[in-house]
Every structure is written in structure tokens, then in C-alpha cells.
Structure 1
Amino acid sequence: MLQESIRTQLEAYFANLAAPIVLEASLDGSDKAREMQALLEDVSALSDKVTFSEAGIADRRPSFLIRREDSRSGVTFAAIPMGHEFTSFVLALLQVGGHPPKIAPATAEQIGRLAGDFHFDVFVSLSCQNCPEVVQALNAMSVLNPAISVTTIDGALFQEEVAARNIMTVPQIYLNGVPFGSGRMDADQILAKLDADAPRRAAERLRDLAPFDVLIVGSGPAGASAAVYAARKGLRTGLVADRFGGQVMDTAGIENFISIRETEGPRLSAQLEAHVRDYEVEIIAGQRAKELFPAASPGAMHGIALESGAILHSRTVILATGAHWRQLGVPGEETYRTKGVAYCPHCDGPFYKGKRVAVAGGGNSGVEAAIDLAGIVGHVTLLQRGSKLKADRVLQDKLRSLPNVTVLTEALTTRIEGDGSKVTGLTYRGGDGQDHSLALDGVFVQIGLLPNTDWLRGTLSLNAFGEIEIDDHGATSAPGVFAAGDATTTPYKQIVIAVGEGAKSALSAFDYLIRLPTGADLPPAA
């Protein structure tokens, strides 16, 4: 079942196993059970420290438990973890076998202190690029604390359970049978929801940090690039990182990042993080900025207040806060979010197999989403509010060649309809000024991005779109504060451009610092 190259890699990984592990399967007579058994037998044959067993007693079948030989607990997959979840499977094997998870020591200590009984069910799609982060975070947490257990469930494998819970988007997380969260979450974000005192302790730790030369807010391509360039200049560099990769984490295929012919968003995000960690950068993970206090005079300290209550100080600041998906802002959108209103066709498309869906948006994102969905769903209706599509011509030609796609122009979505539990359709206003109804099972919103700059209003100069106004050096309206990436007025929101802009902002910050008068770096503001 496994390719020879993967077998060779796994054999090398299994050299890191500190303790014997058992792959304990709970099987039935289905084809999927036989496929799962074949995978587990293949894996167990690669190391004498891995044993396959059919003695599982789980109610959910087919599934399997990864446990240490001397333990009855471990990590459970009610899935054949291939596709995006194969890495989650390999990490679980290694971590259950004694290889330490890559979690910051302070976070690991907090996880270990959690008291109670926490069983997580995580519903995923094997085509979802957002799901592995949640699965891997929870699996690592379960290894660090025996009070935590995790079952990863492939929604396509357990469709009756998905239908009974009315799950229409992934990842969907349940804690002890009760909805806990949906969408991408890392260990720090999960921990913050489990441990109400975590933000206070985080703020206490951050209070002791010495001021920085350069403090970067945001850890997407622009922020990561700025961090590498600043650290290479020998500057004391801090990076406030809510999640590494930013919007890139939600990007499936990337084929225009020069020198890398093809990659995926999560993979590129991991590479960005690894590159930053090669340098002496203070990574302030799981934190969000809420207010900027610009220095009162050139050379004085800037302040960044975090939502946790901590305030960080720095001689210069680089804002690389990126952007987020724009919402339609119509009645029903918020009501049916995750119940038929979705924003990621790659993640949630499989839940609409054979059904009728709509895509709102006629730019590249919308047309790409419609093309992607057309291969899964029964029918796609694409709605563009203007008189023509804005996507690249090659994408438009591909879209119009598909037999199960309808394109509606001059179609403004005005309401998303539902029956109280799920989407049943939408209403749009046509070019004739009349309202029209579409019967649907899902609506995918793809209408562009909004900069993450609301917290900066009244502090820096923003344009009418909320973008940070910068000059050709990345300087903002506040001396010593720079900005880069999708949050700024730089045209063309592309990964490769954000990387260049991040580098430029770091070089500009360095240039600013070396031109300050000697000793002009105290006292702190705010």
C-alpha cells in the first residue's frame, strides 16, 4: 500500500522510537476495514518496535488505536490517515513511541498541569489542509497529559454520524460530546479555551521581556521574511505570532512561488516557521496585538499591547498582520456558518458530494473554487455581482467548459436561507432589479480579503479600504513603524511580493536605527 520511498522514510523515522508501540485495530468486514488493515500491516512490518493487533474493542469501526505496549491508552484514528493526515499519523506514531512533541516548554508544562477528563472527537476530511494542525496539536497534547484522549474521524468514512450531528464543515471539534470549536486551532489556542488562567500567566511571562530592536506583528510570509532579515542584521528581534503562515495556511496549491515549482500552503508555512527558528528570534506565540502606542519622539520606545494584557516595547515595529476572508454581510450568513456557509472549498467540498452549491465571487478565488467543487458536487452556481467575471481568462474558459456549472452575472446575494439547522438556499437580486431564489445545500463565500487593521484605526494612516499607507521604504505615518504584506497599500497581494516587502521593511528598520542619535532609545512609551 505504501510507496517504496515512503517505506524508506518511515524506517528511518522509526529509529527514533524509544518504546515499542501497538497498532490495535477495531475492524469490521468492510472494504475500508481491509484497506486500513493493509496500511497498518505495512507500517508494522517496517520496525520490530511496531506491532499490529486486531484485538481492538472500539465501538466505532473501522478504527485503530496507537498505544505504547505498556499502556491501554493512546491516539485513535477512525480514519485511513492518508492524504493531508498522513503526517498526523506519522507524528502520532513517533510521539506515542516516546519522541517528544515540538511544543514550547512553557506550553507543554501548562498542558501537563491540566486536570480533568478531556476526550476530543475531531471530524476531518482527508482533503482538508486546515485539519492536520488541529489533529496534530490534540494528539501531542494527549501524549503530554494522560487525562486527554483524541479520536480523529474521517467524515467520509462515518457519514451517518456526520449527518446526525449536522456537520458541514471541518475541522469540527467536540469535547466530551459537546461542540468545542471549528476551524484551524493550534495547541496554544486550544489550551487557552481549556485553561481560563492561561492568558494571565502568559502576560506575566511576557512582562519580563527586555525591549526589542525590531518587533514584528504577524507571522505570514511578510512577517517571517522580516524576522529573518532583522535577525541577520544582529538586531534583537521579536515576532508576535498568532499562527505561522497566516492566510497561506488556507491556500491549497501554490505554483507561482519562484524556485519552488509546486507546494501547499501548510507545507510552505512550516518551512517559513522553521527558517525563522534557525535564527535568534523571540517568538511570542499564540498572541494577538490589540493596540499600538507609537513613540512620542524618534528613538523612544514604541509599545504593543496584547490581548493577554501584556505590553511589549521596541525601538522599531513592523506590522505584517495580513488579511482575512471578506464576508457577504447578509442575513443568514452568520446564522448558518459551518451549517452550509463555508469559506474553504478544499476543506468542506467533500461534504457536499452530489449536492447543489453556490459560490459567491467572480474573481480568481471564486472561479477556482467553482472549478474545484464542480468535480465533487452535483451542480455549482457561481454568482458575480458585476456584469462580468474578474478572474483570469484561462480560469474563465475552464469554468465555462464544465457541464455542471451555471454562471450568473449581475447577481447580488441578499440573503442566505435555511430551515433553522442548515442552509436550504439563497436569494439574489438580478440585473432586472427583481429578487430570485436558488434552492441549495451550501454557499461558499469567495469575495476577497480585508486587511487585519481595525486595531490600528486612529493610530496610523489607513486608506479607504483599511490598508496601512506606506511609502516606498515600507514606512508608515508613525516614525519607526513600518508595515509589509497584504495589510498595506502595496498592490498585488501575492506571497512572493509579501516576502520581498517583509525583507524591505526589515532593512528599512535597520537603516532607521543606525541613523538614530546615540542613546535615543529610552524611556519606554505606554
Structure 2
Amino acid sequence: MLDDTLKAQLQQYLGLLRQPIRLIASLDDSETGTDMKSLLETIVSLSDKVTLDTSGNDARKPSFVVAREGETQGVRFAGLPLGHEFTSLVLALLWTGGHPPKVEAEVIDSIKALDGDFSFEVYMSLTCHNCPDVVQALSLMAIFNPKVKTVVIEGGAFQKEVEERQIMAVPMVFLNGQVFGSGRMSVEEIVAKLDTGAAKREAAKLDAKDPYEVLIVGGGPAGAAAAVYAARKGIRVGVAAERFGGQTNDTMAIENYISVLETDGPKFSAALEAQVRHYGVDIMNLQRADKLTPAGADGLVHIQMENGATLKAKTVILSTGARWRNVNVPGEAEYKNKGVAYCPHCDGPLFKGKRTAVIGGGNSGIEAAIDLAGIVEHVTVIEFADQLKADAVLVNKLNSLPNVTVHTNAQTTEITGDGSKVNGIRFKDRATGTEHHVELAGVFVQIGLVPNTEWLKGTAELSKFGEIVVDAKGHTNVPGVFAAGDCTTVPYKQIVIAAGEGAKAALSAFDHLIRH
């Protein structure tokens, strides 16, 4: 199941265990059960600190618990944690075995302080690149707080549960049997959601911070580059980010960032944050800006946060990025995560053998359709323009697939459902006005991005598309305020361009500080 290279790497990691652990397996005669036993026996063979107990009798079979020696509670994996989740398994082994996690001490303290009975179930797919963050966060919580129980469920192995619970997007998290949340979540977000007093304490902590010389709002490639360039000038720099890494967290493969042959979004995001932290930048995660007030008598720009706190700085760089654009038709909001999805890599496997649609004929839409065609029964592509806008190589590949139908010059008018999940899509032929309805189980929306700038209306000048208007040096119309990345009028929304614009904005901000 694991090749020799992977075994060697795993053995090296298991050498970091500080205390013995045991794997308690509840197996069955299924193929997955046989594979699970083989995987667990391999792990045991690589370390004398790991033992296997096959006497488990959990209702979910096949599954296994990673527990400390002498204990029966720990992180439970139902189904095989391979693919993107193999790292989650390795970390669960290490953390249970006493190897310290790379998490701030205050986060661990906040986990330990949680009081109550928290029984989490997280459904994931092995191709989902957003799932590991959630799986690892909930695993960490179960390992450091005995009041937290976590079960990680591979949807492919437990299709009946997936159908019964109508899970049509991953990661999907249940707490004590009720839906807790879906999509990417960090451990800080989960803890904050459980600890009702956390937001108030965090706001007080932010309010107490001294003014920055450069404050960056947004932590994607533009914000990270700005932070590195500014910090290297030896000045006080802060980054307030809703989630560090921005859109790169949701990107499956990155193959066009110069000097990096190939990586994936989460790895790239982690590398961005690591480099920014290396320069001692004050990173404030899970922070959404709500209002910008230009510099007044105190000479400081004020950024009010959604939690009520106010951060102050001599200069500000806005790098709030963008988000997926909604198609804004009846049914989209009602059936989000109930058949309406935005990440084909994450949620595509949940529609195996079913009929789906992709709205959008650009590169992202056609890439999504090609990926889905290898999993689902049939894909319908709906494009508003009179021809597909994707690169020719993608269009040629799409046209070679037997289970794809393309409708151009088509306007989506409704996503239909039965009250609990999607059952079809309605679109109009723009040339004839004829309406069509296609029965299907899932709709993937891939129609571009919208900038995260609504909170700046009335302060910074915005284009008709909501982008922050900047000049060649990243200046906005507000003195001392600069902007970079996908939230600006700079064309071509690419990671490498955003990073360059972030560096430029930082240099402009430093120039402003010198001159004023």
C-alpha cells in the first residue's frame, strides 16, 4: 500500500515519537477493511513505539483509533486516510506520541480551556485539498482536550452515510449530530466558534496594539510580498488577514510561479506565512476589516475591524483579494452545499456516477469540466458568451470527451431542487429565447472573481467592477493608503503579478514614510 520511499519517510517521522501509542482497529471483511489492516500493520512494523489492537468493535467499520498507550480515546479514522489525508494521519500519530505541533502556545491553551462535550464528525474526500486543514484542526483538538472527540470519515468508504446525511460538499463537519460548518476552517476559527468570549478578548488585544508603520490588510500573495518587503526595511509591520494565503488556499495546482516547478495551494500558502513570520511581522489571523478612516490630526490611518477593534498605522496597504463570483440566480443560495458547489477538486468525488453541470467557459470552468468528466456520468457546460473562452488546448481536450455536452450563448436562469438538494438547472438559449431544463445532481459555478472591497465604498476610489483604483506605484486616492493584488485595477489576476504588486506597494509605502 505504501511504496518503499513513503515507508522510509514514515519511519523517519515515527522516530520522533516520545511516548508509545496504539492503534485500535474495528475491521470488517470489506476491501477497505483488508487494506486498512495492511496499512496499520505496516505502520507498526516501522516503530517499536506503535502497537496494533484489532479487538475494536466500533459501529463504524472499518475504522481505527490513534490513542496513547493505556487509553482508548483518540482520533478515529473511518475509511483509509490516504491521498491528501495521509499527512493528517502522520500528524495524528506524532501528536498523540508527544511530538509538539507547530502551533502557537496560546492556541493550544485555548483548546485545553474548552469546556463541554464536543463530538465532531468530519466528512472528507481523498482528493479534497481543503479537507486536511479541518481534519488536522479537529484531530489536534481531540488530542489536547479529552472533552473533544473527533471522527474523520472518508466519504467514499461510507457512501450510505453520505447519502443519508445528504452531504454534497466537503469538508462537512457535524458537532453532536448537528451541522457545524463546511469548507476550509482553521483551528483558530473552530475554537473561536466554540468559545463565545474569544472575539471580545481578541478585539481588546488588537485595540491595545501600538500603531504600525505599515499595516497590510489581507494575507494573500500580494499581502505576503508586501509584508516581506516592508519588514526588510527594519520597520514595524502588521498583517491583518481573514485567512492567510487567500485564494491560494483553494488552488489545487500551481505550475506557473517562476522558479517553483510545481506545488499546491495549501503548501504555497504555508510557505508564504512561514516567510512572513521569519521577518517578525505581527500576523493577526481571522480578522476582517470593516471600515477605513483616512489619517486625521494624529497622522494615522485607522482600520476598524469587524469585531470592533481598531488598528492604526502611518501607512496602509490594501490587499484583500477576491472571491468566487456567484451566478445570482434562484436556487443558488438555497442549494449551496446541497448540490451547488465551487470546488470541483473537493466535491467532485461526491457526485461519482451522477450528472452535473459547470457554469462558465473560461479556463477554470473547462478545467473543472475535464476533471469532473473522469468521475461523473455526464457534464453539461453552460457558457453565456457565444464561444468558450478557455485556452485552445483545454477546449480541444474537452471536445474529445464523450460524456460532455457544451451549450454556448446560454444564460443560466435557475438552479432547481426538491427542497433538500439540487435536481436540475434551467437555462435560456440567448439566440432563440428557448428555455431548457437539464436534470442533474450537482452544479459547479466557475465564472470568475469579485473583489473584496465593499467595505471601502465611500473612502477609496473604486472602479465600476469594484476594484480599487491604483496608479503605477500602487497609490490609491487616499494619502498614505496603497493597494495591491486581485482587489485592484491591475489587469491579469495571477499569483506572480499579485506578489510583484505587493512588493511595489511596500516600496511605495516606505518611500511615503521617508518623505513624510
Structure 1 length-normalised TM: 0.96
Q: Distance in 1 between matches of 2:289 and 2:70?
A: 45
Once the two structures are superposed, residues 408-435 of structure 1 have per-residue CA deviations (whole angstroms, 9 ceiling, x without a partner) of 0111000111111111101111121121
Which is further off, 412-421 or 140-149? 140-149
- How far did residue 393 of structure 1 move? 1.0
* 3-state SS of paired residue (2:227): helix
* 3-state SS of paired residue (2:349): helix
Provide the residue aligned with 2:15 in structure 1: 15
* 3-state SS of paired residue (1:243): coil
* 3-state SS of paired residue (2:415): strand
- How far did residue 146 of structure 1 move? 1.1
- How far did residue 18 of structure 1 move? 1.6
Q: Distance in 1 between matches of 2:13 and 2:235?
A: 36
Q: Distance in 2 between matches of 1:273 and 1:5?
A: 28
Q: Match of 1:330, as an amino acid?
A: V
- How far did residue 8 of structure 1 move? 2.2
Where structure 1 has 5 or more consecutive residues not aligned to the other structure, the ranges are: 517-526
Q: Distance in 1 between matches of 2:210 and 2:329?
A: 46
* 3-state SS of paired residue (2:157): coil
Q: Distance in 2 between matches of 1:103 and 1:147?
A: 20
Structure 2 matches for 1:449-468, cutoff 5 A? 449-468=449-468
Once the two structures are superposed, residues 331-362 of structure 1 have per-residue CA deviations (whole angstroms, 9 ceiling, x without a partner) of 01111111110100000101111111110001
- How far did residue 105 of structure 1 move? 2.5
Provide the residue aligned with 2:440 in structure 1: 440
Q: Distance in 2 between matches of 1:49 and 1:391?
A: 53
Provide the residue aligned with 2:398 in structure 1: 399
Provide the residue aligned with 1:307 in structure 2: 306
* 3-state SS of paired residue (1:224): helix
Q: Match of 1:336, as an amino acid?
A: Y
Q: Match of 2:455, as an amino acid?
A: W
Given the alignment of the two structures, is residue 291 of structure 1 paired with residue 310 of structure 2, yes or no? Answer: no
8 Å Cα contact 2:451/2:487 also seen in 1:
yes
Q: Distance in 1 between matches of 2:323 and 2:196?
A: 27
Provide the residue aligned with 2:145 in structure 1: 145
* 3-state SS of paired residue (1:149): strand
8 Å Cα contact 2:354/2:378 also seen in 1:
yes
8 Å Cα contact 2:92/2:140 also seen in 1:
yes
* 3-state SS of paired residue (2:335): coil
- How far did residue 241 of structure 1 move? 2.1
- How far did residue 9 of structure 1 move? 2.1
Provide the residue aligned with 2:171 in structure 1: 171
8 Å Cα contact 2:415/2:425 also seen in 1:
yes
Q: Distance in 1 between matches of 2:136 and 2:266?
A: 13
Structure 2 matches for 1:42-57, cutoff 5 A? 42-57=42-57
- How far did residue 206 of structure 1 move? 1.5
Given the alignment of the two structures, is residue 479 of structure 1 paired with residue 479 of structure 2, yes or no? Answer: yes
Structure 2 matches for 1:178-257, cutoff 5 A? 178-257=178-257
Q: Distance in 2 between matches of 1:108 and 1:31?
A: 38
- How far did residue 243 of structure 1 move? 1.3
Q: Distance in 2 between matches of 1:326 and 1:433?
A: 25
Which is further off, 304-313 or 157-166? 304-313
- How far did residue 283 of structure 1 move? 0.8
Q: Distance in 1 between matches of 2:307 and 2:19?
A: 39
8 Å Cα contact 2:357/2:380 also seen in 1:
yes
Q: Distance in 1 between matches of 2:467 and 2:370?
A: 30
Provide the residue aligned with 1:520 in structure 2: none
Once the two structures are superposed, residues 370-396 of structure 1 have per-residue CA deviations (whole angstroms, 9 ceiling, x without a partner) of 011010111101000111111111111
Q: Distance in 1 between matches of 2:456 and 2:307?
A: 17
Provide the residue aligned with 1:364 in structure 2: 363
Which is further off, 14-23 or 374-383? 14-23
8 Å Cα contact 2:32/2:79 also seen in 1:
no
Which is further off, 38-47 or 163-172? 38-47
- How far did residue 140 of structure 1 move? 1.0
Given the alignment of the two structures, is residue 123 of structure 1 paired with residue 123 of structure 2, yes or no? Answer: yes
Q: Distance in 2 between matches of 1:142 and 1:30?
A: 28
Once the two structures are superposed, residues 455-511 of structure 1 have per-residue CA deviations (whole angstroms, 9 ceiling, x without a partner) of 111110000000001111111111111111101111000011111111111111111
Structure 2 length-normalised TM: 0.98
Q: Match of 1:326, as an amino acid?
A: R
- How far did residue 56 of structure 1 move? 1.6
Structure 2 matches for 1:57-76, cutoff 5 A? 57-76=57-76
Q: Match of 1:399, as an amino acid?
A: L
The number of aligned residues is: 515
Q: Match of 2:302, as an amino acid?
A: G
* 3-state SS of paired residue (2:10): helix
* 3-state SS of paired residue (2:52): strand
Q: Match of 2:408, as an amino acid?
A: T
- How far did residue 261 of structure 1 move? 1.2
* 3-state SS of paired residue (1:416): strand
Given the alignment of the two structures, is residue 340 of structure 1 paired with residue 339 of structure 2, yes or no? Answer: yes
Where structure 2 has 5 or more consecutive residues not aligned to the other structure, the ranges are: none
8 Å Cα contact 2:357/2:440 also seen in 1:
yes
* 3-state SS of paired residue (1:156): helix
Which is further off, 288-297 or 384-393? 288-297
Q: Distance in 2 between matches of 1:132 and 1:280?
A: 27
Once the two structures are superposed, residues 131-172 of structure 1 have per-residue CA deviations (whole angstroms, 9 ceiling, x without a partner) of 111111111112221111111100100000100001111010
Q: Match of 1:480, as an amino acid?
A: G
Percent sequence identity is 58
Provide the residue aligned with 1:114 in structure 2: 114
Once the two structures are superposed, residues 174-215 of structure 1 have per-residue CA deviations (whole angstroms, 9 ceiling, x without a partner) of 001111111111112111211111100111112221111111
Q: Distance in 2 between matches of 1:211 and 1:247?
A: 28
- How far did residue 448 of structure 1 move? 0.3
Q: Distance in 1 between matches of 2:3 and 2:220?
A: 33
- How far did residue 5 of structure 1 move? 2.2
Provide the residue aligned with 2:372 in structure 1: 373
Q: Match of 1:175, as an amino acid?
A: L
* 3-state SS of paired residue (1:428): strand
Q: Distance in 2 between matches of 1:443 and 1:72?
A: 42
Which is further off, 259-268 or 123-132? 259-268
Provide the residue aligned with 2:319 in structure 1: 320
Once the two structures are superposed, residues 234-293 of structure 1 have per-residue CA deviations (whole angstroms, 9 ceiling, x without a partner) of 111101122121111111111111111111111111111111111111011121111111
Provide the residue aligned with 2:157 in structure 1: 157
Q: Match of 1:35, as an amino acid?
A: D
* 3-state SS of paired residue (1:67): strand
Q: Match of 1:347, as an amino acid?
A: C
8 Å Cα contact 2:209/2:311 also seen in 1:
yes
Which is further off, 482-491 or 47-56? 47-56
Q: Distance in 1 between matches of 2:219 and 2:58?
A: 41
- How far did residue 82 of structure 1 move? 1.0
* 3-state SS of paired residue (1:346): helix
Which is further off, 323-332 or 65-74? 65-74
Q: Distance in 1 between matches of 2:407 and 2:41?
A: 51
Q: Distance in 2 between matches of 1:309 and 1:317?
A: 18
Provide the residue aligned with 2:98 in structure 1: 98
- CA RMSD in angstroms comes to 1.1
Q: Distance in 2 between matches of 1:182 and 1:411?
A: 31
Q: Distance in 1 between matches of 2:480 and 2:79?
A: 51
Q: Distance in 2 between matches of 1:222 and 1:402?
A: 37
Given the alignment of the two structures, is residue 88 of structure 1 paired with residue 88 of structure 2, yes or no? Answer: yes
